[in-house]
Copies of this chain bind each other. A is one copy, B any other.
Amino acid sequence: MELESVPISNVDEAAALLRAHGITPTRQRVAISAILFTCRQHMEASELFRRVQASDTSISRSTVYNTLELFVEKGLLQELNLGDRSRIYDTNLAPHHHLYHVDSGKIEDLDVSQIKVKVPDEILGKSGLVGVDVTLRVAG
């Protein structure tokens, strides 16, 4: 499906993107952005740390974790709940669901328009609906 994340091709664009979101574009944050927004959509925090380390810019663990939190806070990333034991981040900012290939572990995004979910009001009671997460597990 189409992404809503902003693809960035170079350091200047990354810096501009960060600034546009009220984030001071430090060397480390730019490096992280470069990896996040040019790679595939879903990435674990720990994998990102490894990738950044492997790149020419070495960055500490804490910075990576801090930065990811900051990006979520500033609306550059979404954090996913896919039941893994690690933090998974998604550069797709649109509300969306997931198609999870149980055999390969691959995750595909599904636009919310592709799946209809009907929630009766009685279920919610006095609580407000914050979000609806749907994961379709498929095999083969």
Which of chain B's residues has its CB closest to A138's CB? B127
Q: Name 18 interchain pairs, CB-CB below 8 A, sorted by A.
A: A81-B135, A83-B83, A85-B85, A102-B130, A114-B123, A115-B120, A116-B116, A116-B118, A123-B136, A127-B140, A129-B138, A130-B137, A132-B134, A132-B135, A132-B137, A133-B135, A133-B136, A133-B137
Decide: B129 and A136 in contact? CB cutoff 8 A. yes
Alpha-carbon gap, A130 to B81, bound state (A):
19
12 further A-B contacts with Cβ under 8 Å, apart from A83-B83, A133-B135, A133-B137, are A99-B123, A102-B130, A114-B120, A115-B118, A115-B119, A115-B123, A124-B136, A127-B138, A130-B137, A130-B139, A133-B133, A134-B134
Where chain A touches its partner, the secondary structure class is strand
A101 interface residue, CB < 8 Å from B?
yes
State A25–B93 Cα separation when bound (angstroms). 49
Q: A58 interface residue, CB < 8 Å from B?
A: no
Q: Are the C-beta atoms of B81 and A80 separated by less than 8 Å?
A: no
Cα A12 to Cα B120 in complex, Å, equals 41
Cβ-based interface call for A53 (8 A): no
